[in-house]
Amino acid sequence: MYVSRLQAEHLYKVFGRRPDQAVQKLENGAHRDELRADGTTAAVIDASFTVEPGHIFVVMGLSGSGKSTLLRMLNGLLEPTAGRVLFDGQDLTALSPRELRGVRSNKISMVFQHFALFPHRSVLENAAYGLEVQGVPRAEREERAAQALELTGLAGWEKSWPDELSGGMQQRVGLARALATDADLLLMDESFSALDPLIRRDMQDQLLELQKRLKKTIVFITHDLNEAMRLGDRIAVMRDGEIVQQGTAEDILVRPANDYVASFIQDVDRSRVLTAGSIMEMPGAGVSHAEVLAEAPATVTSQTPVAELFAPCSTSGADVAVTDEDGGVIGVVPRERLLAALGEEPRVEAQAGTQVPAARAEATEEKVIAGA
């Protein structure tokens, strides 16, 4: 029987007096504001999701939404008031403290927001720290730490001290420390939010590149929607302790679940999130794949951002062909479809494909081509 790498089942976390009674009230429909009068705070309310092996699952929300509390329940740093966490089918909430420490040491690593490096240890020693806790012999842990530092672009910095590194480089050491343990699950809590925008994007690139090679399972916490859209295979949006929507970046962008989510996505650059596969159409009836390829000004894959379709679409009236990994045609993107997809206003439960005024679509095209 197939089992997801990570499953959260109806997780609640309540701080304060009589937390079990508070969960019952919440299950019966009480709002968390009603509980504050009783001296209790519902940080996470009925959170459920699954994370597949090799995927990046992003939990996004504003401060106070409960996302960091949720993350700490996934590795047992916080005990759920109710609900279960299953890791490779094993119920972590049923483990003894000793067993849980073993899981955290060997199978789940965490990358914090503020680097958490030891100033009196070298870069290599910091990267090897998790292996030292596991009791790995010194020669082996230094070799594995050096390999992890190379993966994160820090080869040659092994003997340096943390205060000799930039913020971005320090965060790379934190990432290397997590990778060195070869953990099956990485938990990343606002790991890039303390960095300036350029370094932050560089770290996002680094993580995506590493993910292509290592295929780790990652739960990534952020308050930044653009970061969530860029990194997440799937995204959960939290508000007031509850997950209000789950889905791919395209799902959330095209079909926001409610006005709260719609307000979040209104400033997102749709051209960088939507892909050729999400807006393509099937070739016309009776048109062969060879004919499509012969007439197409360009071919792209289903994962190509639509921002990269404007040049071929604007220089030819022909459709852009969308191909699979083997080069077979799986769809086409007409210019009109491209403009319609980018010109649509996000609407609650809206469906992709709604036609929009040509003036707005043309303005969108000019903005993308100009590199805005």
DSSP string, 108-130: EEEE-TT----TTS-HHHHHTHH
List Cβ neighbours of 231 (8 Å cut-off, separation of 6 or more): 56, 58, 204, 207, 208, 220, 222
| pLDDT for position 320 | 87
List Cβ neighbours of 330 (8 Å cut-off, separation of 6 or more): 277, 280, 302, 322, 323, 324
| pLDDT for position 104 | 87
Of the chain, the percentage scoring pLDDT greater than 70 comes to 91
SS3 category, 7: strand
| pLDDT for position 368 | 41
- Mean predicted lDDT score pLDDT of the chain: 86
* Contact assessment for residue 107 and residue 36, using Cβ atoms and an 8 Å cutoff: no
197-224 pLDDT, tens per residue? 888 889 999 999 999 899 999 999 999 8
| pLDDT for position 347 | 59
Beta bridge partners of 51: 6
* Six token digits for residue 191: 């790991």
Question: Is the model's pLDDT at 295 over the cut of 60?
Answer: yes
How far apart are the C-alpha atoms of 218 and 191, rounded to whole Å?
A: 12
Pairing of strands 82-87, 6-16: antiparallel
305-335 pLDDT, tens per residue? 888 888 777 766 678 889 988 888 898 888 8
How far apart are the C-alpha atoms of 294 and 120, rounded to whole Å?
A: 63
* Contact assessment for residue 73 and residue 79, using Cβ atoms and an 8 Å cutoff: yes
Pairing of strands 217-222, 185-189: parallel
Residue-range domains of the chain with CATH: 52-81+93-267 (3.40.50.300), 272-369 (3.90.1280.20)
Question: Is the model's pLDDT at 301 over the cut of 50?
Answer: yes
Question: Is the model's pLDDT at 352 over the cut of 80?
Answer: no
SS3 category, 181: coil
| pLDDT for position 272 | 79
Beta bridge partners of 332: 281, 321
* Among 263-267, 327-331, 341-345, 360-364, the least confident range: 360-364
Question: Is the model's pLDDT at 343 over the cut of 80?
Answer: no
How far apart are the C-alpha atoms of 356 and 72, rounded to whole Å?
A: 44
Pairing of strands 234-239, 56-60: parallel
